[in-house]
A and B are shown apart, each in its own frame.
Chain A
Amino acid sequence: MDKTINQKAWFLVLPVFLVVAFSAILPLMTVVNYSMQDTFGNNQFFWNGVGWFKELLDPSTDLGSRFFASLWRNLFFSGVILAIEVPLGIVVALSMPREGWRVAVCLVILALPLLIPWNVVGTIWQIFGRPDIGLLGYVVNGIGINYNYVSNEFDAWVTVIVMDVWHWTSLVALLCYAGLKSIPDAYYQAAQIDGASRWAVFTAIQLPKMHRVLLIAVLLRFMDSFMIYTEPFVVTGGGPGNSTTFISIELVKIALGQFDLGKAAALSLVYNLIILIVCWVFYTVMINAGAERPAKQGVA
């Protein structure tokens, strides 16, 4: 049978193409363009090739050292909050009731931190932690521990981490709870029959069944924490010194503080690339985990 060929159909795709070009491709290409040029203001641009990228990836330069310092800070931060939020989220999900009106109460309480705008979270903790008027800061200092997130790097880190745990553990807990709810009762009954201890039930049933939601939780939390900006910016402003300056904060300083559009564009692209690569790795891992379906050949 002959296919009808009608090239006019391309016109149907055109609006989408225009919208995507206008909203995504052109802005991205603008950034690519900036990353290759230098400007001294006045809208005068000079070609710089891959110069900014070379500088960015060379730790001996100012730009490079700032980039790597903030990158390690970011990775360390993500590592710490994952190490806290994932186990804590699992524990919270495990200790939630499985049925009855308490479920609704728990879900609402858990969802609350997730509903607060990010800069409000920052403001809450900024005030909460102040030694003079903040409840937390006042009490901690009152029991004899010297705590001041404005002047002490360690205190600043503790504040930022605790704030993130406060804000986001709920997400991990809710995901884990959904995973737990999907386990049929028969599994728990069989485990009882098999005489499994509480720990054995956790390792043999609950953890394997939460495997997929945990991957999603880790992915989401890693991405979010790797891109974190608002909360630490509001609380510490990246300080004291540069001790809590994460990549996004650094980026804003370079782009808007110094108005170094070329450097900022190069940094944005590398930052974006890192996130894309990590996403791809997680995606591949999750797809492979999903492929572990029962094989067709089996015991007959």
Chain B
Amino acid sequence: MARIDLVDLAHSYSGNSADIASYALKPVTMTWRQGGAYALLGPSGCGKTTLLNLISGIVTPSQGKILFDGVDITPLSTQKRNIAQVFQFPVIYDTMTVGQNLAFPLKNRGLPKKEIDARVAEIARLLDLTPYLTRKAMRLTADAKQKISLGRGLVRSDVAAVLFDEPLTVIDPELKWQLRSKLKALHRELDLTMIYVTHDQTEALTFADTVVVMHDGRVVQSGTPAELFDKPAHTFVGYFIGSPGMNIVPAEVRGREARVDGYAIALNRSYDALPSGAKIEIGVRPEFVDVAAPAPGLISANIERIDDLGRVRFARLRVGNAKFAARVPPGFSVPGDVAGLIFDPSRVHVYADSLLVEGST
């Protein structure tokens, strides 16, 4: 158990001399607190697995340091790092039984047999593997094998962190839900730091207290699911999280007013010192824009289609050249091809070169 600090950590697969823009992981400094449930969220190729492998020591960083409880462990090998990791595809030891598989990490570290048995029994109970302990692991299904892999990750009680690299990819959707809530329960029960890599926002948001969003080798935001939803720090977070994603449209912002396609939108805060020459956009989640009958003073948009998601309907619109999504209020029937849009001013954010700008009140 430990706090994990990353200090100016970066990695390039093509050597130290490579251009920083080509780094798989661009320099990052952050802290993972003991006992936290973290999710590393991002699309494929954003560097999340690289970051994970750097922490576990499978990959050696090109620069920077990793500290466990303030101790620099960067030069240590994986074996000496006291870390557990579960991989995307099940890894089981074919010739061993389920019980021996679970005991393997403990046996290798020379724990007394009594302690191993007790720990294996506990983990097997938590993962519902008890009836299978004496079966050969090789003959089980992929689901069961992945459970064994998870079990091997969780069996050591003293690890600094347990890292999960998209561990539920091979699992059936229904079982995925069960296993994910099981992991969450295990996290509470075992008091381990867990870092969970995924490209699935539902998985990330349901599992973690803190979600770390990565994009193009950079950590773009780290926060609670609510923070990511309410106040995306980067336009990428805006449209990657949420379904449909955040509306991001180019705008001219002056003081407390943004102009889009010639129409004015009121803002809650004042933006006076926007960097000059930057690309200015406003971002607002579809949940906070309502479709209304066209009226003077409202942005007018062309309706392309209405998506009925059951509990809520979203209109897909076009404002000028920009695509837009907005909520259709319950009971509101769409009058024609053209609609007006009503914005919630407190939910409209301003971005300069994709980064959130804090306005002054």
Contact = CB atoms under 8 A, between A and B. Distances in A.
Interface residues of B, number: 38
Nearest to A184: B89
Contacts of B300: none
A209 B94 contact: yes
25 contacts: A186-B87, A186-B88, A186-B89, A186-B91, A190-B87, A192-B79, A193-B85, A194-B104, A195-B79, A195-B105, A195-B109, A196-B104, A196-B108, A203-B95, A209-B94, A292-B139, A298-B132, A298-B139, A298-B141, A298-B143, A298-B144, A299-B128, A299-B141, A299-B144, A300-B175
B108 A195 contact: yes
Contacts of B91: 184, 186-187, 190
- In order of increasing CB-CB distance, the 3 nearest A-B pairs are A299-B144, A298-B141, A190-B91
A297 to B, nearest CB: 8
A192 B58 contact: yes
A197 B108 contact: yes
A208 B136 CA distance: 13
Interface string A127-152: 00000000000000000000000000
Contact of A300 (B89, B138, B139, B143): B143
Interface of B: 56-58, 77-79, 83-85, 87-89, 91, 93-96, 104-105, 108-109, 128-129, 131-132, 138-145, 147, 149, 152-153, 175
A200 interface: yes
B93 A204 contact: yes
A299 B83 CA distance: 27
Interface residues of A, number: 25
Given A189-B87, A299-B128, A194 B108 contact: yes
A208 B94 contact: yes
A205 interface: yes
Contacts of B145: 294
Interface string A267-300: 0000000000000000000000000111110111
Contacts of B88: 186
Interface in A171-211: 184, 186-187, 189-190, 192-197, 200, 203-205, 208-209
A276 B217 CA distance: 61
Interface in A8-24: none
A193 B108 contact: no
B87 A192 contact: no
A205 B93 contact: yes
Interface string A205-230: 10011000000000000000000000
Given A186-B91, A204-B93, 6 more contacts: A192-B58, A192-B79, A194-B108, A196-B104, A294-B140, A299-B140
Contacts of B128: 299
A189 B89 contact: no
Contacts of A294: 138-142, 145
A227 B153 CA distance: 51
Nearest to B174: A300
A296 B141 CA distance: 7
A67 to B, nearest CB: 41
B139 A194 contact: no
A195 B143 CA distance: 24
Contacts of A298: 132, 139-141, 143-144
A194 B82 CA distance: 9
A293 B83 CA distance: 32
Contacts of A189: 56, 58, 78, 85, 87
Nearest to B104: A194
Given A184-B89, A186-B88, A294-B138, A192 B78 contact: yes
Contacts of B93: 204-205, 208
A209 B105 CA distance: 20
Contacts of A187: 91
B183 to A, nearest CB: 16
Choose among A193, A196, A294, A296 the residue with the greatest number of B CB atoms under 10 Å from its CB. Answer: A193
